Amino acid sequence: MPSSLDLIPLCSGRSDFVSTWAKICHEGHHREQAYIAALRQRGIIAAHPNDGWIKRDEQKLHFAYPHFNDGAKTGDLVALGYEFDATTLIVRLTTSTSGVLSSMEWWSYTPVETLNNKNLIP
């Protein structure tokens, strides 16, 4: 998944604006890295945004562009969310399936807990 730092070159114009933009991107990158470190410290094996690649009603997910994936497998804990969300959902992977017409791997999961991100990242 691209980093906030990848956004820095997209800005041009007045030097004060460009400088502020770069500062915001660096702060976002540091927040994201702190979020990932806090999740790994809790034993989370992978993290993915809680977005359209999560089928909440079916409790399935596809690792389209994870924040990180350290080799997630059945039984592992995965975090769903962003560092700027109010909460992060922790789930446990149960089974993996691939579609008939597609080789996309979908993981079934069971919810474990919801973390308050204010307590996760100081």
Work out how many domains the chain is built from and give that number: 1
| Residues 11, 36: Cα–Cα separation, whole Å | 26
| Residues 92, 72: Cα–Cα separation, whole Å | 10
End-to-end CA distance of the chain: 23
Residue 1: what pLDDT?
64
At residue 81, φ and ψ (nearest 5 deg) are 155, -175
Q: Find the domain containing 114 and state its range.
A: 4-120
Report the percent of the chain where pLDDT is more than 70.
98
Question: What are the pLDDT digits (tens) for 14-39?
Answer: 999 899 999 999 998 999 999 999 99
| Residues 26, 5: Cα–Cα separation, whole Å | 6
